Structure 1
């Protein structure tokens, strides 16, 4: 897998296509952050996820520049800390500078603001998107009720909601709720939310001669849910991306879904 064209994507508003497989950089710091992003791009990942709060945007940006992969082939996501209400413009300007790019592909509000301003910060996100600094905007760790509040106030739904997700958190109603609102679901911490030694995953992995982690990644993709596994180990980075040579059956998908019940 060496090209973004080889990867399945989800359609976002504005005719933007987001890869279903991405690379997360939470807790990645120093040279290991730089090396892991370079390794991820070499392995074929084309979605790179970071955040202002991670403190590694400069390292991610340097890795992107060093990778040799054209900017237009990389989908870059970063996140606005919720406490920066009123400082949205300054924050995205700094993110762009640190990443070494002139626009983002997706900018998320990292958490719902705890002191009000839920709609105000969303209006500012829309304004910044319309100015061309990011192709799409979304949220992270929002409930459906909070998303509905944004829609009611502005008439515009977030393109994406990034939440903690994995087989043990599977909730069909939540998946359908996002789908009904036209919001793409993106899952983080796919392995932390899953016991990879679970016999269900182990048995399915054996059938396909893959690892349980690969089964979890593939499960997300077949549900049309964006997944962003993270690692700083090159072999695991490559393995987590090597999920396009097998397909889970409908029965296997159902058995994994049942882990969340």
Structure 2
């Protein structure tokens, strides 16, 4: 299994580093640590209010900018001013381009074709090398694809307690990467006794098994957050574990309930749409 996913629209590391709820000096140190351990993808967003420390961490790592896959997102309330907000993100991050720029959430009353075409213009002008969306359910993603805009990724909550089968049918058929956020169900899978039993057979942790279950899937990458170097390293080791999970292991995880969604704010779309 390659440690990157490559499609006609992008080549992205299979395991990235999430920064939601990291801020200030802690965020910068965590980004530096992750990059020193071998991570090569960092995910942020204007809503996280941590783009400056993320950019500082990348700079302090000493890595050439082209070696770090950097993702940011425009907040749903700002879809009428996408270029302005992208430029502000670039300024805070201290870079002249993003590797991936996403609509963070669909706005309830958004003009979808206009928002996507504004996003596409950023790609044409080199401010973003690839573009995509986040938190788009299957039906909405299909409508987005009808605009002809080259959507490279859809970032959604995905873990062993939440099915994304409907969405995966759409993403795989269209060469779109599905990026899994909250890949450990906000920590719940790390303490799940059923997953811990599988982990014991491999000399691993339940968190590593839950990540490995995601990482072995076609067209899926994951962006767990981890502020401590020990956890960052353990998450990286899940890449190798993904190739060692047995069919029986996978069947056991597949059999877990898949109806538990933990991120659904008041402005969220109809997930069944």
TM, length-normalised to structure 1? 0.92
Equivalent residue for 1:187?
A: 180
After superposition, residues 85-234 of structure 1 pair within 5 angstroms as: 85-152=79-146, 154-193=147-186, 194-224=188-218, 225-234=220-229
Mapped to 1, the partners of 2:226 and 2:116 lie a distance apart of 31
CA positional deviation for 1:101:
1.0
Equivalent residue for 1:243?
A: 238
CA positional deviation for 1:95:
0.9
Residue deviations 1:23-67 (CA, integer Å, cap 9, x gap): 000010111101111111111111100000000001000000000
CA positional deviation for 1:207:
1.0
Mapped to 2, the partners of 1:24 and 1:87 lie a distance apart of 25
Residue deviations 1:123-152 (CA, integer Å, cap 9, x gap): 100111111111100000001111111222
227 and 199 in structure 1: CA distance in 2 versus 1, 3 angstrom threshold: same
Q: RMSD between aligned alpha carbons?
A: 1.6
Decide whether the 8 Å contact of 1:157 with 1:182 is kept in 2: no
Equivalent residue for 2:263?
A: none
Equivalent residue for 1:3?
A: none
CA positional deviation for 1:157:
4.7
Q: Which 10-residue stretch deviates more, 235-244 or 209-218?
A: 235-244
171 and 82 in structure 1: CA distance in 2 versus 1, 3 angstrom threshold: closer
Residue deviations 1:93-142 (CA, integer Å, cap 9, x gap): 11111111111100000000122212211110011111111110000000
Equivalent residue for 1:254?
A: 251
Mapped to 1, the partners of 2:225 and 2:2 lie a distance apart of 18
Equivalent residue for 1:69?
A: 63
Mapped to 2, the partners of 1:22 and 1:170 lie a distance apart of 21
Equivalent residue for 1:17?
A: 11
Mapped to 1, the partners of 2:118 and 2:24 lie a distance apart of 32
Structure 1 stretches of 5 or more lacking a match?
1-5
Mapped to 2, the partners of 1:173 and 1:111 lie a distance apart of 19
Residue deviations 1:130-179 (CA, integer Å, cap 9, x gap): 11111100000001111111222x22352111001100003433322321
Mapped to 2, the partners of 1:8 and 1:260 lie a distance apart of 28
CA positional deviation for 1:80:
0.6
Mapped to 1, the partners of 2:177 and 2:140 lie a distance apart of 15
Mapped to 1, the partners of 2:206 and 2:225 lie a distance apart of 15
12 and 168 in structure 1: CA distance in 2 versus 1, 3 angstrom threshold: same
